[in-house]
Structure 1
């Protein structure tokens, strides 16, 4: 089931890039990011409240709070840089570089999380790197 969710994540991320590129025309990239973030905030909290999951907030550990806050800060930084890049460049060049985060994730998952680094994964990272360079150069 996780693969279905991941597929939909990729599909909606693609739509996000297209909608953002159209919507950012003539709008400051930081303001555009703030608008996007506000919409995400409303939708996410709406889902949490509607489903009753908000009752679990007191159960969140200190460690989880710290890492969720760090994740939020890095998401914000990513979105700010992404919108600025998207405003200045073409979507077909910005998005492959943005998705290069996959390579960074594999490397960090190996060193920080201790996840396996198989030959298939290494080969995939090499192909993604080559593909990204071919698309943007």
Structure 2
């Protein structure tokens, strides 16, 4: 068995836990603040935190060695992240966190589709069933019945 800190499953589950906290804390945070201002403030915190991690871990020098192709895709990913966060915070300012977050997690479904179409990844029948159940679950949770 691989060490816990080397397990992608461990980090993915930790990411899910922090994402859940993000939704609840962000919903509380946007109650008295315009959503774009809230997104900007959160981005500053993330920038400071990741900058401190780079410096503390001695990885800051790696910024100068990022290949051009990687930099391009990371910049595009950053733009997509920013757009996602702006939309997410706007949705949270208008709707209930318990309904906004599941629709936001339809990104899981889109990643599966994009991974197959653009990255050549392969999903089995049970994998696609799971993707379908995630989609159905997100829609059902978001449904106001």
2:29 corresponds to = 23
Q: Does 1:49 align with 2:49?
A: no
Worse-superposed segment, 120-129 or 82-91: 120-129
In the TM superposition, structure 1's runs of 4+ consecutive aligned residues that sit over 4 Å from their partners are: none
- List alignment gaps of at least 5 residues for structure 2: 1-6
Q: What are the superposed Cα offsets for residues 71-124 of structure 1, whole Å, 9 maximum, x if unpaired?
A: 100000000000000000000000000011000000000011000021011101
Structure with the higher fraction of residues in helix conformation:
1
- List alignment gaps of at least 5 residues for structure 1: none
Q: TM-score, normalised by structure 1?
A: 0.97
Query: C-alpha displacement at 1:50, in angstroms?
Result: 1.1
Query: C-alpha displacement at 1:129, in angstroms?
Result: 1.3
User: Equivalents in 2 of 1:117, 1:5: separation in Å?
Assistant: 21
2:4 corresponds to = none
User: Equivalents in 1 of 2:71, 2:114: separation in Å?
Assistant: 21
SS at match of 2:126: helix
2:76 corresponds to = 70
Q: What are the superposed Cα offsets for residues 26-46 of structure 1, whole Å, 9 maximum, x if unpaired?
A: 200000000000000000011
